[in-house]
Structure 1
Amino acid sequence: MIKRTIYISNPSYLKLKDLQLVVQEPKTKEIKGTVPIEDIALLMLDHYQITISNQVLVKLQGNNIAVITCDEHHLPFGLMLPFYGHSEYSERIKCQLSASEPLKKQLWKQTIEQKIKNQESLLKLNNKVSEPLAEYKLNVKSGDTSNREGMAAQYYWKHLFENFNRTRFGEEPNNLLNFGYAILRSIVARALVNSGLLPVLGIFHKNKYNPYCLADDIMEPYRPFVDKMVYNYIQENYSFELNKDTKAYLLTIATQDVLIDGLERPLFVAVSTTTASLYKCFTGELRQIKYPELD
């Protein structure tokens, strides 16, 4: 069953009734909607006048639902996940902790190769010159010590959008990309917890201030799928505004179909396939992480 992403942007009171999340208008007490807790994957709260009880939070965490809060600029600000989401949690963490540096460097090499390959595919889809990316992909070393990721990114962004500089706080469409990446990061972090892994322990990212290093690692080959959505949106709507309609569109990233392990799956399911394969790489059952292919 495909899980749902719920976005709430109006004053609301959230309560629990018969295992359903109930969204109620605070003043009139009118029920705006209900959804089974078990059907939810992500819940985004985008208004300061949303009230949620601890009972609801506990039930959401018990179902491994990622709860995302937004700031005064209506941008994702916080992410709440349960401490663990797998019955073999301690055993799996031991495997993650014991992963050798050579193994992590090889996993990072695979990650960057697939990211560049997906960037190359997106350029091809839009009839843009992509040949240099193929060369970068072929020359990724263990641990990407020659920084082919950075070289590929420089070329990729220069050719995907006109007169564009990709920075966190830069000009449009950075705002759309940042929002999409925040949603993607939440999806990946949730899947890591569900696979019994710690999102904080990365295979490459090691920033001591970052609680989601592993999520930032694993989401890399998925970023071009966000880029594709943003590119298509701009081409169709000629707009860079991050409004409710744009957010609703970008939140559908979870249900976008991707090709993984020879099968077409919603991205939400594909991410779980990726994190499950990562754990098997830690145990030695697999030698290759399963990542999606952009086509």
Structure 2
Amino acid sequence: MSYHIVSIDSPDCSLSCKDGQLTCKSADGERRLPLEDIAAIIVTSFSASIHSKLLLEAAKHGVGLIICENFKPASLVLPANRATDTLLTRAQAYIPAQLKQRLWQKTIDSKCMNQFSLAAELAPGDERLERLGKLARGRFASKEAECAKAFWRIYADRVAETDDFRRRRDGDGPNPLLNYGYAVLLSTVLQNLFAVGLDPTFGIAHATRENSTPLAYDLMEPFRPCVDWRVADWIRRHPDEKDWQVTREFRQWVTAFPLEKVDYFDLTLDIRGVIEGAVRSFRQAVTTAQSGPYRPWTRTTTKWAG
């Protein structure tokens, strides 16, 4: 598979193909990239025009197009040979239970360490951090639930500044802000799953339901604290609770979090690039039937980006 996953997010642009190259024309000028170097094209622009020649040439080069609405994939245009790639689908459908468990354990380990890292940033010196750190580094059946409980108590005190806050999809306080941020994160993970050919309906831990994408929910877990931090920073800048609404200003603010820089092993990438790296590594783990290649993100920098 070619390396580049190209994201098109210019508000108004024209996509075409000339001399075997993807051509993107916008108010900022014209950019080109050889189609043979592209794995997939993700179009999040709300008013992009796509020339039919690009669709044909992309198919010849095995390049998929993911067309999004509000950042969520709405249409998937695949070359016929990629749409019928049963090898990867079979590998996903028949992941051994032991491998699923190892992949999920790595995912949860990263999520819990990221929650501990963020809690330490939000509440340095809090006496509850020692217990949260031990939970995050531990290995037991209820680890995810216990870490979440400890993390949200600290978050409630230091961000919501109330004992009444509970993390719920239908809750009040910061909950609507968190829900919107998680939706953006979910869409970003989905974009990358489609881009590398993974079927999001084959999860490793989350339950499969009608019209659900459990694998996207699985792989987004280590990145949730990125949204938690972004929302915490918004609340710090807007301490009046009446401003804790999903306004246009907030949507613009929170949708920028995938562009924040973080460390990913020996690299410094934006979060969107790290998600791509994690998804690609998961794909390799599935196709090799080994957990070793999977590299979920665990924060190592000393400060969370603002």
Q: TM-score range by the shorter chain?
A: 0.7 to 0.9
The CA deviation string for residues 232-253 of structure 1, in whole angstroms up to 9 with x for no partner, is 1211233313221211111112
Task: Return the alpha-carbon distance in structure 2 between the equivalents of residues 260 and 170 of structure 1.
Answer: 33
Q: 1:124 to 1:15 in 2, by over 3 A?
A: closer
Count of residues in Structure 1 that have an aligned counterpart in Structure 2? 266
One-letter identity of the residue aligned with 1:292: W
Q: 1:138 to 1:17 in 2, by over 3 A?
A: closer
Is 1:268 the equivalent of 2:272?
A: yes
The CA deviation string for residues 86-115 of structure 1, in whole angstroms up to 9 with x for no partner, is 959432222212210011011111111110
1:83 CA displacement: 6.3
One-letter identity of the residue aligned with 1:231: A
Q: 1:161-240 residue pairs with structure 2 within 5 A?
A: 161=159, 162-163=161-162, 164-238=165-239, 239-240=243-244
Q: 1:40 to 1:288 in 2, by over 3 A?
A: closer
Alignment equivalent of 2:76, drawn from 65, 74, 82: 82
Task: Return the alpha-carbon distance in structure 2 between the equivalents of residues 98 and 286 of structure 1.
Answer: 15
User: Match of 1:27?
Assistant: none
User: Match of 2:36?
Assistant: none
Task: Return the alpha-carbon distance in structure 2 between the equivalents of residues 153 and 95 of structure 1.
Answer: 32
1:147 CA displacement: 2.2
Preserved contact between residue 99 and residue 290 of structure 2 (Cα < 8 Å): no
The CA deviation string for residues 7-53 of structure 1, in whole angstroms up to 9 with x for no partner, is 97xxxxx885756588xxxxxxxxx99997989745276xxxx9999
Cα RMSD (Å) of the superposition? 3.6
Q: 1:242-281 residue pairs with structure 2 within 5 A?
A: 242-281=246-285
User: Match of 1:158?
Assistant: 153
1:192 CA displacement: 1.2
Task: Return the alpha-carbon distance in structure 1 between the equivalents of residues 258 and 30 of structure 2.
Answer: 17
Task: Return the alpha-carbon distance in structure 2 between the equivalents of residues 249 and 267 of structure 1.
Answer: 15
1:256 CA displacement: 1.3
Task: Return the alpha-carbon distance in structure 1 between the equivalents of residues 221 and 191 of structure 2.
Answer: 16
Task: Return the alpha-carbon distance in structure 2 between the equivalents of residues 167 and 7 of structure 1.
Answer: 34
Task: Return the alpha-carbon distance in structure 2 between the equivalents of residues 228 and 5 of structure 1.
Answer: 26
Task: Return the alpha-carbon distance in structure 1 between the equivalents of residues 85 and 190 of structure 2.
Answer: 15
One-letter identity of the residue aligned with 1:117: M
1:261 CA displacement: 2.4
User: Match of 1:148?
Assistant: 143
1:262 CA displacement: 2.4
Q: 1:252 to 1:42 in 2, by over 3 A?
A: farther
Alignment equivalent of 2:119, drawn from 112, 118, 123: 123
TM-score of the superposed pair, with normalisation by structure 1: 0.75
Preserved contact between residue 95 and residue 289 of structure 2 (Cα < 8 Å): no
Q: 1:15 to 1:281 in 2, by over 3 A?
A: closer
One-letter identity of the residue aligned with 2:68: V
Task: Return the alpha-carbon distance in structure 1 between the equivalents of residues 215 and 186 of structure 2.
Answer: 10
Q: 1:43 to 1:35 in 2, by over 3 A?
A: farther
User: Secondary structure, in 3 states, of the residue corresponding to 1:219?
Assistant: helix
Is 1:99 the equivalent of 2:95?
A: yes
1:204 CA displacement: 0.4
Task: Return the alpha-carbon distance in structure 2 between the equivalents of residues 35 and 132 of structure 1.
Answer: 54
1:265 CA displacement: 0.8
Preserved contact between residue 277 and residue 289 of structure 1 (Cα < 8 Å): yes
User: Match of 1:114?
Assistant: 110
Q: 1:43-82 residue pairs with structure 2 within 5 A?
A: 43=44, 64-69=65-70, 79-82=73-76
Q: 1:27-38 residue pairs with structure 2 within 5 A?
A: none
1:136 CA displacement: 1.7
Preserved contact between residue 260 and residue 290 of structure 1 (Cα < 8 Å): no
Preserved contact between residue 254 and residue 267 of structure 1 (Cα < 8 Å): yes
Preserved contact between residue 66 and residue 187 of structure 1 (Cα < 8 Å): no
Q: 1:3 to 1:17 in 2, by over 3 A?
A: closer
Range with greater deviation from structure 2 (116-125 or 188-197): 188-197
1:157 CA displacement: 1.1
Q: 1:20 to 1:175 in 2, by over 3 A?
A: same
TM-score of the superposed pair, with normalisation by structure 2: 0.73
Task: Return the alpha-carbon distance in structure 2 between the equivalents of residues 220 and 7 of structure 1.
Answer: 28
Unmatched runs of 5 consecutive residues or more in structure 2: 17-22, 34-39, 302-306
Task: Return the alpha-carbon distance in structure 2 between the equivalents of residues 53 and 195 of structure 1.
Answer: 21
